[in-house]
Amino acid sequence: MTFRNGLDSLLRPEDSVLVLIDHQPYQLANLNSHDPQAVVNNSTALAKAAKAFGVPTILTSVIADRGGLLFPQITDVFPGQEVIDRTFINTWEDKKVVDAVKATGRKQLIIAGLWTEICVAMPVIQALGEGWDVTVITDASGGTSVEAHEVSIQRMIAAGANMMTWLALASEWQRDWARTEHAAALTDVLKHHAAGSGIAFLWEQQLLNTPLPSNAG
């Protein structure tokens, strides 16, 4: 096994490209590994984080006429952007998607989608075999059962894939709070999608901006 370690193994926004696969109503209807609401939230947060850091994002669906359009929470992040609609179950066999990824010139390939055991695992395993550095965002993905999701993660790890959650990825892209270029945009994503952390941040801002009563102390 080739170990993924060292500074160069951390993800960088300037080297990353994100592919969001089949976040559609049909797949959501049989999502049983996660709370569906959480997956919608997490996939939206992932999309917003990618936009905040200028990471090219490829949107793709499968037979949208039958399976439904991508969640509007995602497509609203990229207004007017084409969603590549496929017939291939395996996204990495669709030339239009692969060409769009290659056109970015980036090699840190990040994937999330529904379902983990099918529409995520297939392209991940193929791309790994073709030399891509692949990361799967597990909490913006989901399977038809807990077992299906977890077994597919094990399968992808065995093939050499890296596993992360959306907040871990966003933090790795930020890396240093002294890098202020994207900090405000990232903070806005956290406020709306990071649950307790986002609410705690808003509370902190409230306290910092609330004058002490005159008789305090």
Name the residues annotated as catalytic.
119
Residue 63: exposed, middle, or buried by beta-carbon count in 10 A (0-12, 13-18, 19+)? Answer: middle
Task: Single out the residue of 14, 26, 23 nearest to residue 44, CA to CA.
Answer: 23
Pairing label, strands 133-137, 162-164? parallel
Overall residue count recorded for the chain in this entry: 217
Q: How many CA atoms lie within 13 A of 1 on its CB side?
A: 10
Check if the beta carbon of residue 127 is closer than 8 Å to that of residue 40: no
Q: How many CA atoms lie within 13 A of 206 on its CB side?
A: 6
